[in-house]
Amino acid sequence: MSFFRKKGTHMEKKKKKNNLKPLLIILLLVVCTVLLAAVYVSPTIAAMKYYKSVAKDKVSAAKDRFTAVAVGSVAFDKDDKEFIRFRSDGDMSYITASNMTDAIKYAFVVLEDEKFFDNKGAKDKDLYAVTYNEEKAVNLVPGISMITRGIAKDFVIEDDVDMNNSLLEVYVANELEHVYSKDELLEYYINNIYFGNGVYGAQSASKYYFKKELQEIAPSELAFLAALASNPEMDPSVMEDLEVITVKKNAALDRMYDAEVITREEYFKAISDSIVFAERGNIRYNYIEKFVLNDAIHNLMENEGFVFRYTFDDEKQRDEYEKKYKELYAKYEKDIYRKGYKIYTSIDIELVEVLQSEMDKIASASPIKNGDSHALTGGAVVLDNKTGKVIALTGGESVDSDTYVYNRAYESDVALGRTVWPMDIYIPYIEWHHDPGYIVYAKQAVDGTLIDKVTLREAIASYSSDFAGRMYEKIGGHYAMSLLLRTGFNSAANYKTATPRLGYITGNMLELAGAYMAIAEDGTYRKPSSIRSIADKGGISFLVPADERADIYAANDDRIMVDILADNMKEGGYLNRFASDSYASAAFSDGGIVAGFSTYYTVAVYNAFEGISTADMPEESKVDHLGLSGTLYKNVMDYLHKDKEKVEFEKPGPYSKEDAPADKALEPTTERPSLGGEGGHPGDGDDRLNNNLNDYHR
């Protein structure tokens, strides 16, 4: 009996154990679920709470901005006198939602987000989804308008670099959807849309383009503004851009008609109407304004840590750089037009007017026209050697326009010819222990011998490409190119195809002036800029460019170059007709380019025919390009030095040939100089140069 009882007890226990297995499995699943939730769900929920809290604080802090009008920045000249206001002449004016018609409200929504009025904010499950997978934050999120996201991005977040901005943008937009009504959001949006040309807000745009209040413009004009708002980078004065804007304008009219905010008659009239812009006043210093704007933007970008590059390992790297560059450039351009910065510059307005007058004389030297303007044009830059700052420039002849023009002073890359030889051939050759009296051989005779020999000073004065070729042969293209890079010649076309010996280097007058100023300053290079400082609208300075310098040439070698260049201005010198007895001057030239300096200032100028063929030009229309640029150089230098004491250039010290390497002398030879130095064209197949390009400039 007892045996069976014991056996029965054992069976009962086994049965109980078997009954516990499902419970243990369920318990294990619960524990795993809790653990998974702890690992995956809890952090996401915690992140949601955090982002909601941050978004709430940011929206609250931005409350005052929702009735603020964009304030354009102001630029001051060297004497702290205001001379540029970065804004349209339509004034920055505000319009309330109560004064907007349904057509106005719908027009500015229809091309950006037709569901704007339907979106009331995101549900938690959708916020959870984008928080869990942050990559989804860049896409549409149900319940959140793209217009509201634009407001969040541009006016509330203000580049919080410590957070995922795409995700923060979603949460801020969601908070905006809950805090503000659709009319309030639309009012803010319409008053802060950017229309290009420094115009912010639809009311301002209406005054700028049509000289009318927003409520007064015709449906065709309203649709035009809506189309322009979706493509503010486009210029209606450019035919290709106007065609794109017109297509969008008609699309807006179609949707406005479908939404019944305009009548059938208004629709058909608007479709057939031509857009006529109102006459607008002139911007007096448009070349200067464009330059100062670009200069200020670049300084702001550098202040944020952006590093300018000019060479890339591959197209992907280039594309990534250009995308980042364009994003930052657009951001700071908008800031200048809406944040009321005070931009202090080195610009001398009186000198600008003198320089512009001289450039107008050049333009009118030939009667040939290119459209409404003279075909003969050019650019010029003046630098102050002491400060390293730009004090004046012009990008062409005076124009009657209030839109930004093509500024040839820094936007036009031209073939610089012989004018780069002092930087990439002559000074390097002097560095190789060749004094001004060193004998240079050139020109191959019929029997294969090199028969011409002159001193280095004479070779430079001769402007001969034969003598320059002999010097360049010894220097090599890679070293020559590195010196040009270090003195600010950043045209990407130079790096792999340019041949300095033949003068194929391209660059603009701002770069050329900067390089010549380095020669004037004992071989020390400074990047030319007009910005002294930038302050916020309250006057608190937040950007003062560092006075960064780079020693490019040894001082004594540089002074030898100055001494030789000064020969050009002396009696019998190539540029003697542009010299003056009242100040020391040194210069070099090629064609219509003249670049030179005194002990006080540096000037670079060029002139050329643009947009026409000069092959069959009548003799009476041809000009002395060198004479025109040289005359501008002299007249501007005369003006600059009228109250200056004459200061001579520092004389070079005794030239030492100690430790001169034997292989650095050029002996007579039948070997012809190669065109591209070592290994063909500079940069081809030589990692020594390619790996170091970005070390030479900022």
CATH 1.10.3810.10 in the chain: give the residue spans.
Answer: 63-72+91-272
Most confident among 53-67, 297-311, 384-398 (mean pLDDT): 384-398
**Residue 21, pLDDT score:** 67
Amino acid 64: pLDDT: 73
Single out the residue of 373, 340, 198 nearest to residue 209, CA to CA: 198
**Which pLDDT score is estimated for 675?**
28
Residue 493, pLDDT > 60, answer: no
Per residue in 168-190, pLDDT (tens digit) is 888 999 999 999 999 999 998 99
Q: Rounded to the nearest 10 degrees, what angle do helices 124-132 and 165-179 cross at?
A: 170
Helix (H, G, I), strand (E, B) or coil at 185: helix
pLDDT band at 8 (very low <50, low <70, confident <90, very high): low
10-25: average pLDDT: 60
- Residue range(s) of every CATH 3.30.450.330 domain in the chain: 73-89+281-412+525-545+579-660
Mean pLDDT of all residues in 514-521: 98
Superfamily for the 63-72+91-272 domain:
Biosynthetic peptidoglycan transglycosylase-like (1.10.3810.10)
Distances from the Cα of 211 to the Cα of 94, 277, 470, 645, angstroms: 15, 9, 65, 53
Residues 6+ apart with CB under 8 A from 25: none
In whole angstroms, how far apart are CA 415 and each of 113, 500, 592, 606, 689?
48, 11, 11, 10, 22
| Dist CA 109 CA 256 (whole Å) | 10
Confidence of residue 81 (pLDDT cuts 50, 70, 90): very high
Which range in 275-284, 465-474, 498-507 is most confidently predicted, on average pLDDT?
A: 465-474
Average pLDDT, rounded, for the chain: 82
Pairing label, strands 389-394, 414-415: unpaired
* 9-15: average pLDDT: 54
Q: How confident is the model at residue 571, as a pLDDT?
A: 87
Among 66-70, 321-325, 510-514, 664-668, the range of highest mean pLDDT: 510-514
pLDDT for the residue 674:
32
Strands, E, within 45-162: which ranges? 74-76, 82-85
Rounded CA gap, 214 and 574, in Å? 62
Write the burial class of residue 687 (CB in 10 Å: 0-12 exposed, 13-18 middle, 19+ buried). Answer: exposed
**Residues 248-264: pLDDT tens digits?**
999 999 999 999 999 99
CA triple 478-479-482, angle to 5 deg: 85
Collect all residues with Cβ–Cβ distance below 8 Å to 619 and sequence separation of at least 6. Answer: none
- Tell me which of 640 and 401 has the higher pLDDT: 640
Give the CATH fold of the 73-89+281-412+525-545+579-660 domain: Beta-Lactamase (3.30.450)
For residue 103, what are the CA distances in angstroms to 107, 219, 258, 267, 620?
Answer: 6, 8, 12, 12, 59
pLDDT tens figures, 350-368 = 999 999 999 999 999 999 9
Q: 399-434 burial string, b = 16+ CB within 10 Å, else e?
A: beebebbebbbbebbbbbbbbbbbbbbbbbbbbbbb
pLDDT-derived band of residue 138, with 50, 70 and 90 as boundaries? low
- Considering only 120-124, 531-535, 538-542, 560-564, which range has the smallest mean pLDDT? 120-124
Most confident of 199-213, 381-395, 450-464: 381-395
Determine contact, residues 593/605, Cβ cutoff 8 Å. yes
Per-residue model confidence (pLDDT) at position 137 = 60
Closest CA to 537 of 67, 78, 85, 77: 85
- Dist. CA 52–CA 70, nearest whole Å: 28
> Residue 475, Cβ neighbours under 10 Å: how many?
23
Share of the chain above pLDDT 90, in %: 46
The answer to whether the CB of 698 falls within 8 A of the CB of 527 is yes
Return the pLDDT at 516.
Answer: 98
The answer to whether residues 514 and 383 touch, using CB atoms and an 8 Å cutoff, is yes
* Range from 162-166, 230-234, 471-475, 635-639 carrying the lowest mean pLDDT: 162-166
